[in-house]
Structure formats: C-alpha cells, structure tokens
A and B are shown apart, each in its own frame.
Chain A
Amino acid sequence: MAPRFLLWFKRLFVSPDLHKDLLKYSLFKELNAHQRKIMASFLHEREFKAGESIFEANYPLEVIYFIESGEMELTPILAADGNTVLKKHQFVGVLDLFSEKKRLNSANARTDLKLRALSEKDFQELIAKDPALGVKLLKACCCFLSDFIAEHSRQNRS
C-alpha cells in the first residue's frame, strides 16, 4: 500500500515521459523529458484527408507542421533531399520561418495525413521564455538549414 501511495505521490510531481516520440523529429532530438513535455503542450493534432490542401504558396506563415503519419506533397520542390514528398517525422515551415514569413510552397496531403502543428508565435515564445530550450531548437534549425544548403549545393554542382 505504502509503495503504491509513494508512486502515486511521485507521479503528481514527476509525470512519466509520454513524449519520447518527439525525439524522432530532428528539431526536437536534443530536448530533455521536461522540455518535450512543454513542447507537446503547444502542439495541436490535425488530420487531413488524401488530396486535401494543407496550405498554399504565399499564405502567411503561422504554423510549422510535423508529420506524425502519412505523406505530404510539396510544390515546388523544397525538401532538403530534393524530394517533393515529405514523410513520417519530417516537418515543413522552418525554412519559411526565416524568410518573409510567407509560405514558399504549397502542400497537399498525398495520403491520409496526421500532423502536429506548432504555432510560429508559440515557437518564438518557447525560445524567449526558456533560453536552454531555445538554444537547442535554434541549434537544430541551424543544422537543418545547413543540411538543406549543402544538399542544394551538391545538386547544383552535379
């Protein structure tokens, strides 16, 4: 009885890590359990049917989408590896975040799609309110941008 009570009492203060799946996104791979918990509380779950439009080019950038399941088709090509299709655990919106805050491309659901949406303002707020978390997120953004530029340079050379 006593150990059970202690376990229950501990769980009131230290909740179990329910958001390990976030580690599969390169943007979140360095976040600790507490930071993942905070991040998850900002993520909205959205579902799109195959063929449904997610956003169009030149729309204002408000949300970064993380793919939980299904496939997303981008036009024109902007994925780092040169593919038009984004799959599970990839994301879209980070590149646009550092441009003019407008969508650079359009996106449609290629199959039934489950996404997690992070508001751009929440993203900025997270960086401002928790500098440790902010540094990790910005570092991950830099890595992503660096990979993207390297990939495009390689494609241009060949």
Chain B
Amino acid sequence: MNWTRLIFTLIILLACVLALVFYSPLLIYLLLALVLAYFLDPAITWMEYKKIPRWLGVLILYFIIAGVLTWLIATYVPELIRQGNQFLALLSRTDQSPLQLIVDLPVIRSLHELVENLDHSVPQMHLLARFDSFLETAVNKIGEFPQLLISNYQPILGTLAMVLMVPIFSFFLLSDKKRIRRALMSLVPNKYFEITLILLKKVDENVGNYIRAILLEMLAVGIMSTFVLSIVGVPYAIVIGAIAGLTNIIPYIGPWLGGLIAVLVILISGMAPVNIIWAGLAMFLVQQVDNYMVYPAIIGKTMKMHPLLVILTVLAGSYFGGVIWMLISVPLVYMIFSLLSALQKNLKEFRII
C-alpha cells in the first residue's frame, strides 16, 4: 500500500470537508448563482461564437437585465410607495384606533359581522371577544414590525449584501465556465476520466435544461396570469401575475397560491364577490393551459417522472427543509435517479463493475 498517497488523499478529503463547513453559509447563494448562470449560459455561449468574449457577454446581459428591472421599478414602485404612504397615513390617524381601522377593511368587516352573528347565537363561546383579541394581537404584531426591522438591521443588511453578491458569483461562473470544468476534470484519475466526462455532461444537460425550462414556464404563467387578471379587472394584475409565475415553480401546490392571492386582493379591495369566481376561473384557465400545453412542451421534454412521485417528493421536501427544498427536491431526485442509471450503464460498459 502506498502510504504517502493514502495520507495525501486523506489530507485532501479533510481540506474538502473543512472548506465545505467554512463556506456552508454561502452555499445557498452559490446555488442561486448557479441557477442564474445556467439560465444565462445559452445567450453567453451564443455571443461567444459571435466573437464577443464571455466576460463582456455577461456584462451586456447584466446591463439588459438591469435596464428592464429599472424600467419595472420606475413604472410600478412610485405607485406602490403612494399606496404605502396612504396606508401609513391611515394608520397614523388619531381619530380612530388601529383596531377600528383594520375592522373597517371590507373583508374583515364581513368576517366581523359573521362572528358577531355567531356570538349572538352561541354567547357562551365568547367568539366576538376572542376574534377581537386575535385582531388586537395581529395589529400589535404589525405595529412591532418596524421595530423588528430596526433591531435586526444587521442580519437583514448582511443577507441583502449576500443576495447582491449572487450576480457577482454568477459572473465568475459564467465567464470562467470552461476553465472551472477543465480544472475539475484535471483532478479525475485517467481510469475514470471518460466516465466522469459522461456524467458531468449528463448533470450539465439535465440541470441546465430543467432550470431554463422552469424559468420559461414561470415567465409564461406570469404573462398569462397578468393578461387574464387584467381582463377580469383585478387590481395589481402585474404584481399578482408575477407572484403567480414565481409560486408556480412549486409543483401542484404553487399554482393555487397565485389564485389565492388574487382572491385576497379582490376581498381586500372591496370588489363584488362575483369577481372571485371570474378570477378563480381565469386562474384555472391559466393552469389548464400550463398543464396541457406549456408544461408538456417545455418541461415534459426535460424530465419524465410519475405525478405521484412528484407529489410525494414535494411533500417530503417540505417536511425536510421548507419552501427551498420544495423547489429543489423534484429536480434533485430526478437528477440523482438519472445519474445513477447513467452510472450503472457506463460502469458496465467501461468494465469497472
């Protein structure tokens, strides 16, 4: 046995474990950077073939994305600030208590009346008193929110700074993609070089196709939701459409969240209840188009998993690690499954097993 080699391998392994522990707080941001990199890579590669250096291609794309975001912010944020100011002004009025203001919201008023009627019917349960107490607690919590922001400003700013680092991580992943790949491959022993190349390509293809497909689906659902909600006349259709697009990435559960937000907005804005039915139908239509046209055309080609397994995987992901794991569990399970099947096939072909 070559002891020097064994000791060296152990030291390398130890260094890897230590590095993993040391950089573990950054892993989630690195993962986000990887998602962004996979999404932008085809455009960067296309530019590379047109003689534009990769680093310049990334910068051009960043400028385009920043331009679009600036336009969106310039268009919608002033309106949001105006509404936010109105809400704050409402809360700071001294002639009414904050509790009364909340109770005056159309949806809460309806609920309050319902509870009041129930309380008259069954006075022993003190339902009205309990409901008022619940509302008061909620108002107090809302009141504490600014204080909570101030007292936790350091972790909030830290997280914000790390989120802003994502495009920077992504820049290096994109501009040095092939160098990183070559560096990783140079660590692989000759015996396993070809099989590793096959597996790396498989991961690259699966993950890249899945991420690009899911982002395209999000975009399609976002645009369709905005369009149909605008027709129905739901306020803030673009914002709700964007949320519907974002939540759509959680299979089977996400699509309902977008519809739920639309219903809540209708209730809070005091629109006629019949609009809830129209908005519900509109979102149902979007989901049908997504399920039977968009999903099979975009994602069905990249991933084949039984629906039951998808639901079980999403639920297991939510128990394991919350929303983030709900998002990543399905592609992760699919990737591991396809990797293992590719590994088994190739290990036999290369006569390693």
Contacts from A to B (Cβ < 8 Å): 12-13, 15, 34, 38, 41-42, 44-46, 48, 52, 54-56, 59-60, 62-63, 117, 119, 121, 129-130
* CB of A132 to closest CB in B, whole Å: 9
* CB of B41 to closest CB in A, whole Å: 12
Query: Which of B49, B51, B193, B350 is close to A117, meaning CB atoms less than 8 Å apart?
Result: B193
Contact residues on B (Cβ < 8 Å of other chain), bracket: 20 to 34
Known contacts being A34-B51, A59-B349, is A41 close to B178, with CB within 8 Å?
Answer: yes
Q: Pick the most buried of B53, B197, B349: most chain A CB atoms within 10 A of its CB.
A: B197
Docked CA distance A12–B57 (Å): 12
Note all chain B residues with C-beta closer than 8 A to A119. 197, 201
Docked CA distance A130–B121 (Å): 77
CB under 8 Å from chain A, chain B span 306-353: 346, 349-351
Note all chain B residues with C-beta closer than 8 A to A117. 193, 197
Note all chain A residues with C-beta closer than 8 A to B56. 12-13
* CB of B317 to closest CB in A, whole Å: 31
Note all chain A residues with C-beta closer than 8 A to B232. none
Note all chain A residues with C-beta closer than 8 A to B346. 60
Q: Is B82 an interface residue (CB 8 A)?
A: no
Known contacts being A15-B53, A34-B51, is A56 close to B201, with CB within 8 Å?
Answer: no
Interface of B is mostly: helix
| Residue pair A48, B190 in contact (C-beta under 8 Å) | yes
Docked CA distance A45–B195 (Å): 16
Known contacts being A41-B178, A44-B182, is A59 close to B49, with CB within 8 Å?
Answer: no
Q: Is B194 an interface residue (CB 8 A)?
A: yes
Note all chain A residues with C-beta closer than 8 A to B185. 44
Docked CA distance A48–B185 (Å): 15
| Residue pair A46, B190 in contact (C-beta under 8 Å) | yes
Instruction: Name the 7 nearest CB pairs between A and B, nearest first.
Output: A41-B178, A62-B194, A60-B349, A130-B49, A44-B185, A119-B197, A121-B201
Write the B35-61 contact mask toward A (1 if CB under 8 angstroms, else 0): 000000000011011010100100000
Q: Can you list 13 A-B contacts with CB-CB less than 8 angstroms, sorted by A residue number?
A: A12-B53, A38-B49, A45-B182, A46-B190, A46-B193, A59-B349, A59-B350, A59-B351, A60-B194, A60-B349, A62-B195, A63-B193, A117-B197
Docked CA distance A126–B220 (Å): 30
* CB of B147 to closest CB in A, whole Å: 50
| Residue pair B194, A63 in contact (C-beta under 8 Å) | yes
Docked CA distance A117–B53 (Å): 23
Q: Is B118 an interface residue (CB 8 A)?
A: no
Docked CA distance A34–B54 (Å): 13
* CB of B201 to closest CB in A, whole Å: 5
Docked CA distance A98–B193 (Å): 22
Docked CA distance A134–B159 (Å): 46
Known contacts being A44-B186, A45-B186, A60-B346, is A129 close to B197, with CB within 8 Å?
Answer: no
Q: Is B198 an interface residue (CB 8 A)?
A: yes
Note all chain B residues with C-beta closer than 8 A to A52. 190
**Known contacts A12-B56, A13-B56, A46-B190, then 12 further A-B pairs from the complex at CB < 8 Å, ordered by chain A residue:** A13-B53, A34-B51, A42-B178, A44-B197, A48-B190, A59-B351, A60-B350, A62-B195, A63-B193, A117-B193, A121-B201, A130-B49
Known contacts being A38-B49, A44-B185, A129-B49, is A56 close to B351, with CB within 8 Å?
Answer: yes
Q: Pick the most buried of B46, B56, B194, B201: most chain A CB atoms within 10 A of its CB.
A: B194
* CB of A135 to closest CB in B, whole Å: 14
Q: Pick the most buried of B179, B190, B197, B351: most chain A CB atoms within 10 A of its CB.
A: B190
| Residue pair A63, B197 in contact (C-beta under 8 Å) | yes
Write the B137-181 contact mask toward A (1 if CB under 8 angstroms, else 0): 000000000000000000000000000000000000000001100
* CB of A58 to closest CB in B, whole Å: 8
* CB of B189 to closest CB in A, whole Å: 10
Docked CA distance A52–B190 (Å): 9
Note all chain B residues with C-beta closer than 8 A to A48. 190
Docked CA distance A34–B193 (Å): 27
Docked CA distance A55–B192 (Å): 11
Note all chain A residues with C-beta closer than 8 A to B186. 44-45
The chain B residue with its CB closest to the CB of A43 is B182
* CB of B290 to closest CB in A, whole Å: 30
| Residue pair B201, A59 in contact (C-beta under 8 Å) | no
The chain A residue with its CB closest to the CB of B46 is A129
| Residue pair B53, A55 in contact (C-beta under 8 Å) | no
